Chains A and B, each alone.
Chain A
């Protein structure tokens, strides 16, 4: 059971056994393919689980039961949806720009994949440990907006175009808040590398160690990342009541499924970043000095800690979505530029002061 606590046993074992049979360059190639397949499987599982969770959670928030017919408690509902989506006819507008139209869903998926690659899932389970991890992830995750803009532009549909433009304005504005709220913690860690950030939380998570400043940064991160993933209450890009489905109005079948999957993957990615930076990633709940308590917490494997924290943040985001009414576009920009950004800048200043005086734990 050692590998469950430190995945480098497992990955190192695979690497050694491969090295015995192949040349180093072939080993690298095989390992890249293995990692890619693993991420694809993770994507598929995430899609299935998160869509089911979203439907169930939303149902319970609205005093409904949600899917109940397919399988016990409707657990096979998303599987049935996948089969339905695969069998649908891929439609396209007559005047649509077919190249860009087909390209858009892949750009969104690729952006999600690239961001996923740098996430630390557990001890030793980390595909790419960049020393600029946070910068890389926040840069790559904003590539998705290109896919959204292309989808809206090439669809030859006014609703798609309006949705895409709104989405562009929204993501570019809120990207600032996400980056600055992450910077608030980077001030404390002094590093952009995910593994260093997690190691620095071995004696307590930053949300507890960083005083009120870290809490404010966490709240701002939650709001801004909800907006960045185009989820309610910031889902103006696909506002059903005004724009039918926004930028993916004209998509059907598998390409629509890609947009759908990317939305949930992005939700997972931002939750994972939030969990890693503020809640300690795969680091168990530790309190500095309490050795016995820390040892008990260490019995829970890191991968469960990671997915537990991520699902907590995802649950919060679902709670937001099914409680708050959608913002108007001017309210959206007012919230970002007049409230979140100034508060964020003040917060960074306070945090820098705290870090300078060494007042954090």
Chain B
């Protein structure tokens, strides 16, 4: 007797779970506003990329063309595949020689966008930007120098 009850219970619970599943997909079908697909090249002007999307490493500059990078190379060490290359130079501040960056070289073609360099930076000089249109016709254009020409380190950053 028990097995007979179980048999019919199985049928009804099975049917109920199927209907539940169909309700979920039916909701998707009847709510086309919830569609996630982006019509990319057409909506290029209105497209807003997600804030946490990791597209490339940028060195932040303020309006005086100053950045926070001290040239400590912590990001270069943290990078697992040698994407970042810091070329340092010595500059004279208050009569003594201090280490600073000459060139912050960033090889986009090697970057896996893991983002390990961002927390490694002691002065929060670099961030991940959410740009994504990186296609170029020449591979050499992927090697970027992140510090703008003529930029210098902010005052008070050591």
- For A319, list chain B residues within 8 Å (CB): 22, 25-26, 29
A119 to B1, CA, bound (A): 45
Q: Select from chain B the residue with minimum beta-carbon distance to A340.
A: B11
CA distance A206 to B21 in the complex (A): 28
Q: Is the CB of B37 within 8 A of A322?
A: no
- What 1/0 mask marks residues of chain B from 35 to 56 whose CB sits below 8 Å from any chain A CB? 1110100000000000000000
Whether the pair A60, B22 counts as a contact (CB closer than 8 A) is: no
Residues of A within 8 A of B21 (CB): 323-324
Q: How many A-B residue pairs have CB under 8 A?
A: 38
**B36 contacts across to A, CB distance below 8 A:** 63-64
A side interface size, CB within 8 A: 16
Cβ–Cβ < 8 Å partners of B10 in chain A: 339
The 8 Å CB contact of A339, one of B11, B25, B37, is B11
Residues of A within 8 A of B28 (CB): 60-63
Q: Within 8 Å CB of B22, what residues of A?
A: 319-320, 323
A64 and B28 CA atoms in complex are apart in Å by: 10
Q: For the complex, what is the distance from the CA of A103 to the CA of B35, rounded to whole Å?
A: 43
Residues of B within 8 A of A343 (CB): 11
Q: Report if B63 contacts A (CB, 8 A).
A: no
Cα of A355 to Cα of B21 in the assembled complex, Å: 35
Q: Please name the residue on chain A nearest to B36 by beta carbon.
A: A63
B26's nearest neighbour on chain A, judged by CB, is A319
Query: 6 tightest CB-CB pairs across the interface, nearest first?
Result: A65-B37, A323-B25, A61-B25, A323-B21, A60-B29, A64-B37
Which B residues lie at the A interface, using CB under 8 A? 10-11, 18, 21-22, 24-26, 28-29, 32, 34-37, 39
Between-chain CB contacts (< 8 Å), 20 pairs? A57-B29, A60-B28, A60-B29, A60-B35, A61-B25, A63-B28, A63-B35, A64-B36, A64-B37, A65-B39, A68-B39, A319-B29, A320-B22, A322-B25, A323-B21, A323-B22, A323-B24, A324-B21, A339-B10, A339-B11
